[in-house]
Amino acid sequence: MELNAEFSKRVVMHGDEIEWLESPMAGVSRRMLDRIGDEVARATSIVRYAPGSAFSSHVHTGGEEFIVLEGVFQDEHGDFPAGSYIRNPPESSHTPRSEPGCTIMVKLWQFDPDDRTHVRIDTNKISAVSDADRPGVSVTPLFRDPREDVRIEYWEPEADINIGADGGAEYFVLAGEFTNSGDHLRANSWLRLPDGTRSTAKAGADGARVWIKMGNLRYAVAPAAL
């Protein structure tokens, strides 16, 4: 399967307009944002766990990265409420479940194959820092290495924000809204900008809280190529 597999193209997807598709595990469904592959895939998805649902124990050969949007995600490493950011690197394993139910935004097979860094952050407990070079922007850093920069940015109401980056960038709206190139993005909307894009976003009347990954698209390959 291929969905939004041409990384040289700008893509906008609105989560509230995408059909939920059942996964192979009962009670777990997903909204696909991009995908190359079948059940083993380089993928970006919104995944919903019904209360009491679970996946069997498995290894993330290509790594897994996600942020909890609603509810509480659980595995043997702990309980992770909405706002938690998790990186499970290549060759890590876990047994995910959710007794109360949860929704996450997850990315698979998008790591450096040699990465072994685990990250578990409750962003509710981290203060954002004003960006001195970008008026109207505050930043909560989540992860950075030579390949990518992952962060949450808070955009003040009506702020004009320069976006884009060498290596491409992805923007997932956690709360609030913004416009870009005629598109109105709201909670659970996803914007992917290709390498070299320079653009401007305008935050809505209540501002925006946006999960951002920058620089990673220059390394975008399918699992079979790794």
**Domain stop point among 122, 138, 160:** 122
Residue 141 and residue 105 in one domain: no
Structural domain boundaries enclosing 138: 123-219
Phi, psi of 21 (to 5 degrees): -115, 135
pLDDT in tens, 125-144: 999 999 999 999 999 999 99
Co-location of 83 and 21 in the same domain = yes
pLDDT, tens digit, 9 for 90 and up, residues 94-125: 999 999 999 999 999 999 889 999 999 999 99
Alpha-carbon distances, residue 131 vs 41, 154, 161, 193 (angstroms): 35, 10, 12, 21
Q: Does a structural domain hold residue 224?
A: no
Residue 191 within a domain: yes
Same domain, 129 and 214: yes
| Predicted TM-score (pTM) of this structure | 0.95
Same domain assignment for residues 20 and 118: yes
The verdict on 74 and 100 lying in the same domain is yes
Do residues 84 and 162 share a domain?
no
Q: Let me know whether 110 and 24 are in one domain.
A: yes
- Looking at the fold, whether 109 and 192 belong to one and the same domain comes out as no
Q: In terms of Cα–Cα distance, which of 56, 35, 36, 32 is closest to 45? A: 32
pLDDT of 151-172, one tens digit each? 999 999 999 999 988 999 999 9
Residue 55 lies in a domain: yes
Q: Which CATH number belongs to the domain containing residue 30 in this structure?
A: 2.60.120.10
Contact 33, 13 (CB under 8 A): yes
**Average pLDDT, integer, range 200-207:** 98
Which residues, other chains included, contact 152 with Cβ-Cβ below 8 Å and sequence gap of 6+? 85, 123, 128, 139, 140, 142, 174, 209, 210, 211, 212
What pLDDT does residue 224 have?
Answer: 56
